[in-house]
Every structure is written in structure tokens, then in C-alpha cells.
Structure 1
Amino acid sequence: MAAKRMDLNKRTFLVLSGSSNPLGQSLAAEFCRRLATGSLALILDDDQEQLHELENHLKSELKTENVKIKTGKLDKTHSNGVQLMEQTLKDHFKDSKDNQRFERSIILHNEGQAATHVLLEPQSTEDWEAYVQQQLYAPVALNQMWLQSKYLEKVEKLAVNVTSSLMVRPLVHAGLLCSCKRARDMYFRAMAAEEYRYGVHVLSFSPGLMASHESQCDVNGNRITPADLVASKELLQLPRIQPRQATLKLINILEEISFVSGHDVDYYDTFVL
């Protein structure tokens, strides 16, 4: 597969899943800044209060008049994301005056609160199934709807899997999270190979060790620091990354550095922004 660059200033249908952590909020703001007039952004999360605050921020402070902002509250399992996307597209083309099709669609899979606040190691079968449904099955279902939507036929597509070069390794207190991340990474690799001929590009991006990863809680409320999870001193000595730094690095990879569909890119691969 050849290296690819993307000018983000296109009429775009953007989907961001997982906006309740600082990285998700930064992704929403910086991508919406760059999209062309006539774009539509659908922001999904299970935290209604965070969604409302982010929507107000995007509509007022950023003055993203080029982009129509829609939000959707995910249910506990995130299984309603498919219906939210389908209804948003249907309403858009029903209400659109010019009925002009999008030039590109981008779907960003972030993790929201699961990435920064809680370490989960559920003990019951039901808890394991619920976690896998939310972290693995729901993103796959959302992708399938996105790939097959009649409103996005013959539209160039980009899927970004926000992953972690750390969390795909075996870690204490994080077996379930690591397992889901590794499975998601393989799914996106396979998706890149299968969908490339249809104009679909896929990138897995590791945003680095976030400043917000200073400590976490396990299911019992115990505070756990990265040093408790990571044995490698080299990893712990890497510079902490702010959300906007990671977002601008991703945008720079897409627009300037270029990427190969299906490959993983880590923030620490290069410090050049």
C-alpha cells in the first residue's frame, strides 16, 4: 500500500466516538477547525453532561460555522451508536438544501473515560461480556454501519483507531483492557486490507503517555500509578503528552508526514510536529 496524505479541508462527515476525556475533546475541536463548509460532525459519548459542554464549546468559542455539530448519547453498552449515526445522516440529507454529498468521511474511535480514569478487571462473566461489548463489539458495529451506509457510497473514508503501544502489552490490573486493545488493533489491520480497494484508509494511532495518566483507580477504588503497571524504566521516562500535542501530531501525520493504511503510528516515533 502506498503512503497517503489527506487535506482535511474537505466537505466531511466526521464521527468521534469517545469524547469525555481531554484527548477526545481536543480531537473534536482541532478536527472541526479544519473541515470545509458543509461538513457534519457527530460526537458520541455516554456522558450527557460532557457532550453538552463540548457542543457548546464547539458552537460558541471555536465558532465552527463551517461545521454542523450533532451529539448523541450512547447507552451503557454503546450498542445504539449505529442507530444514532444512521438517524443523523438521514436527517442531514432530508434537511440539507443543496443535498450535496460529502467528499470524505472520517471516523475516530477514542475511548473516553475508560482510557484515563478506571482500570477494570471484572470478575463475573457478565461483567466481562459487558466490557467487551462496549470496547470491542460496539466499535466494530459502528464501523460496519459507516462502511455500508447508502449516504456514504463512493465517499473516501478514513478510520482512526486511537490505541496504545503500552496497553497492548500484558500489564498488571489491566488484562481485560489489554486484551480488547489487541483484538481491536487486529480488527483494524484486517479492515485496512479488506477495504483498501473501496477507498477506505485505516490508521491506528498511539497518542503517547498522557499527562492525565498520572494515576488511576481499580474497581475497588485503589489508586494505582503508571509505575505500578509498567516495569520498563525507559517507558516511564518518556515525556508526558498533553491532549492537544497528541491531536496536532495525528493531524500532522495525516496532512504532512503521510501514513500507510493499516499501520500503527506512535507519538514517540518522532517528536516533529
Structure 2
Amino acid sequence: MGITRHSESAGIAVVTVDYPPVNAIPSDGWFTLADEIRAAGRDPQTRVVVLRAENRGFNAGVDIKEMQRTPGHQALIDANHGCFEAFAAVYDCPVPVVTAVQGFCLGGGIGLVGNSDIIIASEDATFGLPEVDRGALGAATHLSRLVPQHLMRALFFTAATATAQQLHHHGSVLKVVPRDELDAATLEVAENIAAKDGRVIRAAKRALNGIDVQDVHRSYRYEQGFTFELNLSGASDEIRERFDDDLAAQKDKN
């Protein structure tokens, strides 16, 4: 359980997220994820990093329960910093990051996927930002790298999700495969990259980041400021409390 890294084959480093049941990552987990991705990229033998997850879904974002049980704003600050580091580690990784997505990809998961170089998704994968329903903001920077601008705004304001098939239509998901073929399909793409000259691959990653039209670090940090403002105002706590009450009422009905 937690974040692990291993070498799959020559040139391929695999980083796995495993926080059952839904991969809601605690604050320290985001920092660990950043550390593992950076360590993989620093290894001169690495030509590609595969980011994957165990459990029902790829990622459920930050651990909101951790924030609720921690007095003050330190948990929020830690989560903000941890997400920033993890998203940056994916984007700044010296080699391509190929991400395998199954089930739900929400909140912070969008930050990881949006900053990835290549995305492979299972047929049941969905992508979305429930932030507005949770009294927070953030990762619109990364969602806008996955879908066109107006669709991003619609998904963000409504907290709706997009399917893997929709993202494939827009070109942000490379392949959509049955869930039991996800790891194999991801490794197939990674092996294609790993077979190439590592010097060229690393130069290519630097070149592509250098011509990117969006400064993902600055724009995401800007978003985070509004999240903190909502928390300071008390709005976020009120919304999360209502959300918890609604969940409890729904369980009672069932």
C-alpha cells in the first residue's frame, strides 16, 4: 500500500499508486509520488515512466477526510503543496510519462493525467473535477489539456465527467482498451519509447515542454489561491459538511 516503484524491463520505470479503496491520496502520499517520479527520471537508464494505480479507480483526488479531521489549515496547505509537487514531477520528468487510467479519475487525478505525455484508458474510465461540489477549485489547468475550452468549463461548473471515449475523440487519450488489457496496452506504448535512443528521448521531452503554450505551474498555482481563499472564508467547510450529511442520508435510505 502507498507509492511503489519498480523496473519493468530495460528503460521502463513503473510507479504504482495503491491507497485502497479509492486512491484518495493523503498529503504525504503526494510528496512521495513526486519523489518516486523524480527518482525514476534521474536514473540515466530510464527512458520512459509508466504511472498506474491499483484498486477500483485510478485516483479520487486528495483525502478530504484528512482535512476534515485536522484542525486549522495545515492539512490543506500540505495537500496544496503535495499536489503541486506531484503534478510538476510528472510534467518536468526528463522522460515521457505514460499513464494508465482505469475507473474514475477525479480531482488530483486530473492533474496527474493532464500533465502526462501519453494516456491509455480502460473502457470504463471517466474523468472529472468535482471541486465545485466540494467547495474547492483547481486542476482546470490540467483538464483544459484534455478537452476543448468550452467543454472544460461545462465539466468544471457542473462537476460532470467525461468518458474515455470522449477524450479519445478529442485526441488526449491515445487508446481505449478493455480493463484487463490496460497494463499490457500501456507497456506496449512504453516499450516502443524505451527502444529508442535515450539521449534523443530526453532532448525531445525538453523541447516539447519548451514550446508548450501554457505554463502549467503558474496557472495551477493561481487556481490554488482561490481554493485557499474559499477555505479561509468558511465556504469550503460548509459545503463539505453538507456533502457529508447528504452521503449519510443516502446511506440511511439504502
TM-score over 0.5 (shorter chain) = no
For CA contacts below 8 A with separation 6 or more, give which structure has more relative contact order. 1
The structure with the largest helix share of the pair is 2
* Length-normalised TM-score, structure 1: 0.33
